[in-house]
Structure 1
C-alpha cells in the first residue's frame, strides 16, 4: 500500500545540512529577520514586494487581470487595473506575514486583533459532530490561520510545499499552532478528527481539475467546484462554519470572522451545495477584494473541453 504524503514528511532540520539547501536556508533566515521588524515597516516592504511582482511577474499579472475582469465587470477598466495592482500589494504584505506566522508568537498580535462571531463556533461544537471551517485563500492565509488558533483549538489541512526544507519549516510552524497538520488528501484523517469533535480548517476555493466537481457560479462565472465538502458533511454530520481573516486598511490590525453554519447543508443537490459554498466565499472576498489570491487560475477548468482557455493570450 502506498504511503500517504502525511507519513513521509521529513521535518528534521538535520536532514537539510547539505550545501544544496543553503540558498533555502538563506531565504528562511531573511524571513526570520523580516519578522522582527515593526509591523508598519513590514507592510511597507510588502507593498514594495507587490509592486515589483506587478511589474516583473507578467504571467501572474495577466492571470490576475483576467480574474478581476471576469469577477468585477461592473468596474471600469481603470478601476479593474487599480484593483489588480492593489491585490499584488496585499499579497506582497502576505509574503511578509508568512514570517510572522512561522517565527513570531501570535499572542503579541492579540491587542490589534478583533474576533467576530465566536459564539457560532461554540454553539456548533456543542452539537458534538465537529466543525469544518470553510476558509479561503486570502492574502492573510498563514498569519490569519495562526491568529485563529488564539481563539479556538483547530487542526489544519495543507498542501505540502514543493521544497522539502520549506515544507519542514512550514509544517513545524503549523504544528506549534494547530493540533494536527493533515495532508490535503488525507480524507480518512479528516473524518477521524471530525468524529472526535475537532475543528478542521478547510479551503475549497481553487481549481483542482475535472475530477469530482460541478460547475457552480463564482462571481457569476462557472467555476470547477469540488463536491467533497458535501460528502464530508454528509458522512460526518459536522457543521460547516464559514470564516475569514483580513488586515485592516487604515490602521495596523486584523479581523477574524466566524459565521453561522451553512443552513440545510448538505442538501443532497451537489450544484446547490457548491453554489452556496462559492457564494459564501464570494461574500467574504467582497469585504476586501484586494486581499484575495487572484493570481490563481480559478477558471482554468472549463465546462466543456472545447471552451477556450480564458488565460491564453491572443497572439498579436
Structure 2
C-alpha cells in the first residue's frame, strides 16, 4: 500500500498545482470522515485554544484544517519528485533572505504549520549549507526511506535525530551550520516546561530554542511557511531582539506568544492533528 502511494505521488509530480490540490482536497475530506481519533484531537485542540468560536465555527475550522493537511501531503509529490526548477517556481521567499545567509551562528524558528516541509525545502535550496534539521524517525522503513530521500534531495541537509542528543547539533551551530528548529511540540514531562499557549495556561513546550541559542551564541530568525494558491510563501521575520534572555521559561513563553499571533493569521494551517496538550501538570486530567 505504501509503495503504491509513493508511486502515485511520483506520477503526479509534474501535474499543474490545481490538480494536485484538488486531489489533496479529496484526501483531506476522506481523512475527515475516517480518521476519527485525529479528528477528535483537532476538535479538542481548537476548543482549548479558540473557545470564543461557536461549536459550528470550530467544526468548520477543523474541516478546513483536514483539507489543508491533505493538500500538504499531496504537495510532497512535486516537492520531493518534480524537477528543481518547478519546485523553485512554487516556493516564494517573503522578507530578507540575507537574514538567513549573513555570517554567524543561526537558529531558524520554524513552527509546525502544514507547509513545514516546503519551508525546509526552500531553506535547503537557498541557504548555504549544510543546514541542520532535527527529524523524527518514521515507524515503517519504506516511509522512512522515502521521507529522507525527499527531505534530503537538495544535498544540502545535515540530518539529526532526537535520540542522538544535542552535542553534535551545538557543535555544528557554533561552526556556522544553521539549524532549522521546530520546538513547538510536547515531548513529555522530562523534556518540557509548562508555559501558556493560546489560552492554555500550562502547555508543555520544549525550551530548546532558548537553550540552544544561548549556548551557541546564535541569533534566532523566525521562518514561517504559509500555503497559498501558487504554492508556499516562506516568510522571514526579523531576528528576535534581546533573545535569549537569562530566563528560559520567559523565552519559551515569548516564543509561544509569537506562535499564537502567527496561528491566528492562518488557523487552519497549524498542525492541530498533533496532541499538542497531551502532557498535563501532575494531578490534572488529560484533555483527550
The two structures share one fold, judged by TM-score above 0.5: yes
1:175 maps to which of 140, 152, 159: 152
2:211 maps to which of 231, 237, 241: 231
How far, CA to CA, are the matches of 1:265 and 1:106 in structure 2?
35
In the superposition, the TM-score normalised over structure 2's length comes to 0.92
Question: Residue 153 of structure 2 aligns to a residue in which SS?
Answer: helix
How far, CA to CA, are the matches of 1:231 and 1:265 in structure 2?
10
* Residue 140, structure 1, aligned to residue 121, structure 2: no
Alignment-derived partner of residue 163 in structure 1: 140
Alignment-derived partner of residue 174 in structure 2: 195
1:79 maps to which of 40, 52, 57: 57
In the superposition, the TM-score normalised over structure 1's length comes to 0.84
2:221 maps to which of 231, 241, 261: 241
Query: For the pair shown, which has the larger CA radius of gyration, 1 or 2?
Result: 1
Change over 3 Å in CA distance of 1:97–1:33 after alignment to 2: same
How far, CA to CA, are the matches of 1:113 and 1:71 in structure 2?
30
Following superposition, the deviation at residue 112 of structure 1 comes to 4.2
Asked if structure 2 preserves the Cα contact closer than 8 Å seen for 1:97 and 1:140, the reply is no
Q: Deviations over 1:107-158 (max 9, x none)?
A: 31434443122256257x33x2x21111111111222321233332333111
Alignment-derived partner of residue 275 in structure 2: 297
Question: Residue 150 of structure 1 aligns to a residue in which SS?
Answer: helix
* Residue 307, structure 1, aligned to residue 284, structure 2: yes
How far, CA to CA, are the matches of 2:213 and 2:253 in structure 1?
15
How far, CA to CA, are the matches of 2:237 and 2:163 in structure 1?
26
Q: Deviations over 1:166-212 (max 9, x none)?
A: 21222222222233111134312211221121211110111100013
Q: Deviations over 1:204-254 (max 9, x none)?
A: 111100013221111021210112222211210011111111112xx3232
Alignment-derived partner of residue 41 in structure 1: 19
Structure 2 spans left out of the alignment, 5+ residues: none
Alignment-derived partner of residue 88 in structure 1: 66
- Of stretches 199-208 and 225-234 in structure 1, the one that deviates more from structure 2 is 225-234
Structure 1 spans left out of the alignment, 5+ residues: 1-22, 312-316
Asked if structure 2 preserves the Cα contact closer than 8 Å seen for 1:242 and 1:280, the reply is no
The alignment's C-alpha RMSD in Å is 1.8
Alignment-derived partner of residue 233 in structure 2: 255
How far, CA to CA, are the matches of 2:143 and 2:91 in structure 1?
27
How far, CA to CA, are the matches of 2:211 and 2:263 in structure 1?
25
